[in-house]
Chains A and B, each alone.
Chain A
């Protein structure tokens, strides 16, 4: 018996629909069809009034979620691919994200963004947009890397009285498995030491966690021990956990699948330099996707995004300095 990352997301939604009559799911193809990735499979049959097919109108979908939240509901909006959320961007950053600040009215909406690259996804079905959303005040941005977090953080996201951008990684949907759904979990906003090590801290999140863990295993064979920090939430960033790790290792490498300019990696490095400069034995480094749109061909894509091999190379460079 095991549960995949995608099944965990489906089970979390089933749990929420069953236990909270304020929860509903709205998105394209989420009803009888069960969603483009089957994240809502069979949910419309069980909760026909609260699993609703939407027209291809991201702006209206997200705007309506804000209105429903004001009326006390807890909508989950499934955006078919994170890339398409840009069409509804205005409602996220100007409507949802400003409501509480402007009016003291909470805006408990959860936007599920199937994010990140998969082989053959190409420029418009592969994007990681967490850094863009994290830039705006008024949003919580989650980036679960494990089956357990996919489940528990989605439940907590819907429970929060704030808008949450839930970046679930498509690469993990089918392949990542856990024996069971979790009984307890770290809260949103707390990072986790995914692997302890003494030589260098790698701060990462989402699918890159697994590339980093693979890199750490390989380097371990050479006697190099990487400490891997899974941020879990990129807004807010758990700076304390990151700094504490850097205090132990003296070195920092940040690994993210998003683009380099002004992203989560840049933010983490900025904080460590500002708050923990004296802890660093070497200039902090980062590794991101290349600064181009995401390529279609698997060979190009495999080099476009960071992977265990490039993370190992970056870590070796850092350890030499």
Chain B
């Protein structure tokens, strides 16, 4: 890998992280101003890992992001406008105001919309990969994002085992962000390292420093290349700390100061900036310019979406089936 390629990847990644962080901060403001329906769930602290997942994928791949994957969604091809439309309930968004916040996607483009049941998307990715194989496609991968909490579910076990049996090119990424809502990892699993589970499933494990963009970019690219080249499922464990509450309604008072002050609590944005400064001599002026551009793009998007109106419940097609004549009229 040339230095130029490295630099361009690093900058691209940083700018998506920045765009995601900026969107999160503006959404949090709108939430506090009472302008959001339901909750707001941020990816703060998880941008380095998330963007690396998105950047390890190509257009014909499959991605099932989770709550804190704003950066990865952008890197995979989501527009900020689609994200804003979903979060603000615009009828023009991909979910047409029928679903909100992090529950968004475009299935036909390989971008799967999460349901709230953790671990449930992994087998959906598996099925998409089985289908691609049956259709004769080559060199594809599917990535599924989960957190440490989802590793306790039956769906996680069933799907990872299924992927291993079928030897699918699945990259299962665990953001080990120390808390599932308020539950610490000590109440979630008893093994020393979640990566130790890989051998039990017959898959390869990768352990990453989830606060370090460089480690995440390299680790995710390595894992997805292995999967793409026929090495079977890859289990990626990235250690980091969620730098926000579960949602903006949660002040995360249960996160101790010592944990926040530890290496895990390092903000991946700061580390990424430090890397770009040291390795590629990016200056403060450049960072400031990028931040202004990100804020401008997000603000313009919010302004546009706020003018798009709301869904009309009296002229809404209340149909839950594709086959219209089979819809109930009750």
Contact = CB atoms under 8 A, between A and B. Distances in A.
Contacts of B113: 102-103
A138 B321 contact: yes
Contacts of B116: 94
Contact of B120 (A24, A94, A99): A94
A271 B329 CA distance: 11
Interface stretch (A61-69, A145-153, A301-309, A313-321): A61-69
Given A102-B113, A160-B323, A55 B158 contact: yes
B221 interface: no
A102 B124 contact: no
A72 interface: yes
A162 B155 contact: no
B117 A90 contact: yes
Contacts of A106: 322
A37 to B, nearest CB: 23
A140 B107 contact: no
Interface stretch (B91-99, B176-184, B226-234, B290-298): B91-99
B171 interface: no
Interface string A73-109: 1010000000000000011001101111111111000
Given A68-B130, A90-B117, A140-B326, A59 B320 contact: no
Given A49-B134, A94-B115, A100 B322 contact: yes
| Interface size class, chain B | 35 or more
Given A64-B130, A68-B131, A94-B120, A100 B115 contact: no
A63 B120 contact: yes
A64 B122 CA distance: 8
Interface in B130-145: 130-132, 134-135
Nearest to B123: A63
Nearest to A58: B158
Interface string B298-330: 000000000000000000000111110111101
A95 B155 CA distance: 13
Interface stretch (B65-73, B159-167, B255-263): B159-167
Given A49-B134, A59-B158, A60-B158, A161 B127 contact: no
B323 A65 contact: no
Nearest to A187: B325
Given A90-B155, A103-B113, A162-B322, A60 B98 contact: no
A54 B94 CA distance: 33
A57 interface: yes
A59 to B, nearest CB: 5
Given A59-B154, A59-B158, A98-B115, A67 B95 contact: no
A235 interface: yes
A63 B126 contact: yes
A219 interface: no
Contacts of B135: 71-73
A91 B130 contact: no
Nearest to B155: A59
Nearest to A107: B322
A55 B330 CA distance: 39
B237 interface: no
B122 A102 contact: no
Contacts of A91: 120, 123
Given A63-B120, A90-B117, A95-B115, A105 B107 contact: yes
A288 to B, nearest CB: 21
A90 B120 contact: yes
A162 B319 CA distance: 12
Nearest to A137: B320
Contacts of B154: 59
Contacts of B320: 97, 100-101, 137-138
Given A60-B159, A73-B131, A236-B327, A95 B124 contact: yes
25 contacts: A55-B165, A59-B158, A60-B126, A60-B162, A63-B122, A63-B155, A64-B127, A64-B162, A67-B125, A67-B126, A67-B129, A68-B128, A69-B127, A70-B128, A71-B131, A94-B115, A97-B320, A137-B328, A140-B326, A161-B322, A161-B323, A162-B321, A162-B322, A162-B326, A237-B328
Interface of B: 62, 94-96, 98-99, 103, 105-108, 112-113, 115-117, 120-132, 134-135, 154-155, 158-159, 161-162, 165, 319-323, 325-328, 330
Q: Nearest 6 A-B pairs (CB), nearest first? A: A67-B127, A63-B123, A64-B127, A71-B131, A60-B158, A57-B158
